[in-house]
Structure 1
């Protein structure tokens, strides 16, 4: 789940240089014991991911291969995380076809720690317990098993903001200044009201937002408890915060504010360049995706403002090593390096994935992005990351979210009555949970 960032790279590089000596020294002893560093030793490390983590785009694989002669990195990736996870489950069950490094989305990490700890390496055996202070507390805790196993290293987190098209808002007679907009849509009611004003004068066939499913996901990402409570009990049907997010999404659909585009679909991808929607609730990792889809013609047309309703988190991932991996120690050395502070800072500069490393968060605080009209993304997403709740994660978070957003899609695209859609969501969740 990931992005793009060219702004203030010089400053980031200076920070990276300052950290590089100590970090490379820390990684050095482990790397010297790998197969690739033995005379004539060669190893090909396979990495299997979803979405765009940005490692190839930021040149990190090439950099790592240069630092570790004999290592070759080969990455495969699946755009849709749901398809990726289904395939991973099949391969974990069979024990074959697994990569040395597998990505795990934050909505799945509880499944790994609570149900699949025996299928992934406990990274403590390679010294990972010494990295704990390098990561945000919540990020580290989420990948820790019930017996203290370290089952993955955190890549990014998903602090949330609002991305918007300044040109479309201007044509509709609305303000474009990020601070003024943040004040006008400080609440979700304010955001929907502004959307209704936009619809009245919308340029072309553009809509206020891409889909009500994305609105729901962002709103529920502002809550500490979403689908499970702290005891592990399912609460999604009775959670008042979830009901509020559902009702706001239904209101947006009924008011005709949505472009009715399923996220990650080909039509959604094409809509970025076509200017089909004016606003997009966006976690930090979405910035790179926007750049990739909107292309150079979108540069300077987008901006970023604070999110309605306060801070939240949507997304973030981990890198894990399956027990069936062929090169477990070398795989650990790679993920340790990829998730080190200076690499996380580089990824934010290139892709927009907001760091889970505390050291990298400080490094990127002053980052701005010319693509997004010079928006101070380091501050906007940094403030959101600091204020975001520590979320309760459950085994089936991702599956429950998918069923609800599927139901909302039926409301906006098929005109299904919200009450019927809610019943469909309940049935879908029941079938998913078995």
Structure 2
């Protein structure tokens, strides 16, 4: 999930029924969340997140505060998850400055379980069990002795987002089904990219970056950077090596706009048409809307991606033991991650639910911004095919090392073999070896 300016979208089918269900649920969930240690009976719950989880943008905080007038929710957020994580580590080490609720990215949770479990509250003691989540999502934040350290929010099933206007200008088809067939494999995606590059206007690349393609392709692997025993395999895994080869071929063929993701120049490129396709986990929908703006409505569309599967991202909400409002924070978390609110987040911004109950309710959702693309259907199929990924303790470090190295290939003309070695060296340095 990343930051974006919120745009409301509606389901083309069943929107009224969904809205009514959400209203009934909200009206029936107005139990007390008052803080006993607040002199005036009021409590402020602080929330610190990375990117955009969408709670504020979709109005969920406002709805919760109406249901609980004694509660005020205040959120801070950092655009780049890496910067957020570094700041969180400093706060955890020092024991100060932590919010009542902290976000955790899926690539970090294995490390949290093994190294920092004592820093977070066992949410099971506060009524959160993750029982409604897809099995692997809940299992990822459960310790060996049964503690639940985080509540699941979204997952990141993958697709491809593309610019229909740029495709038309380059003489490519724009039909979702036809495109999904043409790029059913990553090689097919590269081949179509060459056709685009041959006729596209100068300055309009096939995709934003090699890093985006690499992350999406690796996200289709059950075993990525560590195996089931915890052994590091990032340097030998054939799936990782294939993704690296494909990403560097993308650069060699001149198909990348060479834009570092999450940077100002990348953000600007959404509205200026610097690239025609984007590896697109569900949460990217909201990001595109925010960066491309209303003027691009109808220019973007979505089709099933290579392999019709993959998982990129997804998050959790956790309560540090330093919180003075653990009960109230857990009550807010339980409401935000309930199936009704997860369905709202998908309908309004595209954050695909990890709740099985919410998943069942959003399959008919379409998004007008993307030419009424059947996002519920596309991302549900991707999620159904999604492997239960093995999460390593250093997945975040390893992933960043690879994407940084691909940036070297793109922007400094570093040879792929040399960049691969740089990635290996940086991983070892980060791990102190």
TM-score by shorter chain over 0.5: yes
Unaligned runs of 5+ in 1: none
- Among residues 216, 219, 228, which one is paired with 1:218 in the alignment? 216
For the aligned residue pairs, the C-alpha RMSD in angstroms reads: 1.7
Which residue of structure 1 aligns with residue 158 of structure 2? 160
Separation of aligned partners in 1, 2:172 and 2:114 = 48
Separation of aligned partners in 2, 1:303 and 1:51 = 23
Which residue of structure 2 aligns with residue 14 of structure 1? 17
Separation of aligned partners in 1, 2:22 and 2:208 = 40
Which residue of structure 1 aligns with residue 58 of structure 2? 58
Contact 2:345 2:351 in 1 (8 A): yes
Contact 1:222 1:310 in 2 (8 A): no
Separation of aligned partners in 1, 2:12 and 2:371 = 16
Secondary structure of the 2:410 match is: helix
Work out the number of aligned pairs and report it: 429
In the TM superposition, residue 124 of structure 1 has moved relative to its aligned partner by 1.2
Secondary structure of the 1:389 match is: coil
Spell out, residue by residue over 1:341-398, the C-alpha distance to the aligned partner (whole angstroms, 9 max, x if none). Answer: 1111111111110001111111111000010111000000011011100000011101
Which residue of structure 2 aligns with residue 74 of structure 1? 74
Which residue of structure 1 aligns with residue 187 of structure 2? 189
Which residue of structure 2 aligns with residue 410 of structure 1? 408
Spell out, residue by residue over 1:165-188, the C-alpha distance to the aligned partner (whole angstroms, 9 max, x if none). Answer: 000011001111010000011111
Q: 1:409 to 1:218 in 2, by over 3 A?
A: same
In the TM superposition, residue 247 of structure 1 has moved relative to its aligned partner by 0.2
Contact 1:37 1:70 in 2 (8 A): no
Contact 2:34 2:42 in 1 (8 A): no
Which residue of structure 2 aligns with residue 297 of structure 1? 295
Asked whether 1:397 is paired with 2:400, we answer no
Separation of aligned partners in 2, 1:296 and 1:36 = 45
Asked whether 1:310 is paired with 2:308, we answer yes
Separation of aligned partners in 2, 1:201 and 1:33 = 60
Separation of aligned partners in 2, 1:393 and 1:166 = 36
Separation of aligned partners in 2, 1:138 and 1:13 = 32
Spell out, residue by residue over 1:238-282, the C-alpha distance to the aligned partner (whole angstroms, 9 max, x if none). Answer: 000000000000100000000000000100000000000000011
Contact 2:12 2:364 in 1 (8 A): no
Spell out, residue by residue over 1:280-302, the C-alpha distance to the aligned partner (whole angstroms, 9 max, x if none). Answer: 01100000000000001110000
In the TM superposition, residue 135 of structure 1 has moved relative to its aligned partner by 1.1
In the TM superposition, residue 143 of structure 1 has moved relative to its aligned partner by 1.0
Separation of aligned partners in 2, 1:5 and 1:400 = 35
Separation of aligned partners in 2, 1:122 and 1:338 = 18
In the TM superposition, residue 23 of structure 1 has moved relative to its aligned partner by 7.4
Q: TM-score, with normalisation over the residues of structure 1?
A: 0.96
Spell out, residue by residue over 1:149-199, the C-alpha distance to the aligned partner (whole angstroms, 9 max, x if none). Answer: 100101100000000000001100111101000001111111101101111
Q: TM-score, with normalisation over the residues of structure 2?
A: 0.96
In the TM superposition, residue 146 of structure 1 has moved relative to its aligned partner by 1.6
Separation of aligned partners in 2, 1:185 and 1:274 = 25
Contact 1:5 1:369 in 2 (8 A): no
Q: 1:432 to 1:5 in 2, by over 3 A?
A: farther
In the TM superposition, residue 7 of structure 1 has moved relative to its aligned partner by 2.3
- Among residues 254, 258, 266, which one is paired with 1:260 in the alignment? 258
Separation of aligned partners in 1, 2:36 and 2:156 = 34
Secondary structure of the 2:308 match is: coil
Which residue of structure 1 aligns with residue 84 of structure 2? 84
Contact 1:12 1:346 in 2 (8 A): no
Contact 2:163 2:276 in 1 (8 A): yes
Separation of aligned partners in 2, 1:387 and 1:5 = 28
In the TM superposition, residue 5 of structure 1 has moved relative to its aligned partner by 5.1
Moved over 4 A (4+): 2-5, 19-25, 36-40
